[in-house]
Chains A and B, each alone.
Chain A
Amino acid sequence: AQKVTQAQTEISVVEKEDVTLDCVYETRDTTYYLFWYKQPPSGELVFLIRRNSFDEQNEISGRYSWNFQKSTSSFNFTITASQVVDSAVYFCALSEAGRGSTLGRLYFGRGTQLTVWP
């Protein structure tokens, strides 16, 4: 079973629109970590955010915000006033910290290709 599901494979928006990328995860561990990474056309993976399972505060960083909802096992990512430079593939990932889990091993979703048109 997929531990991380990103149901949106592709999203297209026009510059300045807001866009939300969905991420749903599945784990039996009570302690876990959630991540978002960005993969621009150049191909590298850029770390964006890490969220601990015991901290449900939402976070805002500039135009980026993240909504962590334990009740629905979701960790959604919103870009406000999108820009062309936001065009990339965005990956959501899960790391489990329970007994028997490999600490740090990341389970990735399949990614969402975001295209922002000028």
Chain B
Amino acid sequence: NAGVMQNPRHLVRRRGQEARLRCSPMKGHSHVYWYRQLPEEGLKFMVYLQKENIIDESGMPKERFSAEFPKEGPSILRIQQVVRGDSAAYFCASSPLLVRRKETQYFGPGTRLLVL
């Protein structure tokens, strides 16, 4: 049973370029969360998605960041016109259809983004 898959594992971009991070949830999981881990900080929630729906994006920066989870294919976190401050580890987590007593998020290995 494959876990949460993220790719690429490492991504290098120059300032002004676009970064696309992909996340395939565990089989049977229909909820995806994205978190960002900045150096010297803990993990911060960014966005929560279900298939074709953004449920909560209150943790997303207002500009340049977007996320989607299409009916088919992985969830995508997109960062346009990257800046050095975007350098961080981006983690995706998935959980099954929410049943209150069974909420556990399982994390992927993360994508380390470095902006030069």
Contact = CB atoms under 8 A, between A and B. Distances in A.
Interface residues of A, number: 24
Contacts of A37: 107
Interface string A50-89: 1010000000000000000000000000000000000000
Given A43-B112, A45-B110, A106 B42 contact: no
B110 A104 contact: no
Contact of A108 (B43, B58, B109): B43
B105 A104 contact: yes
Interface of A: 31, 33, 35, 37, 43-47, 50, 52, 91, 95, 97, 102-111
A110 B55 contact: no
B107 A47 contact: yes
Main secondary structure of the interface of B (DSSP, over half): strand
Contacts of B100: 31, 97
Contacts of A103: 98, 103
Nearest to B31: A104
Given A44-B109, A47-B106, A105 B43 contact: no
A99 to B, nearest CB: 13
Given A50-B104, A102-B56, A104-B95, A43 B89 contact: yes
20 contacts: A33-B103, A35-B104, A43-B110, A44-B109, A44-B110, A45-B43, A45-B110, A47-B104, A50-B103, A52-B101, A95-B103, A97-B103, A102-B58, A103-B98, A104-B103, A104-B105, A106-B105, A107-B45, A109-B42, A111-B42
Nearest to A110: B42
A46 B91 CA distance: 12
A67 B81 CA distance: 46
Contacts of A44: 107-110
B48 interface: yes
B69 interface: no
Contacts of B43: 45, 91, 106, 108
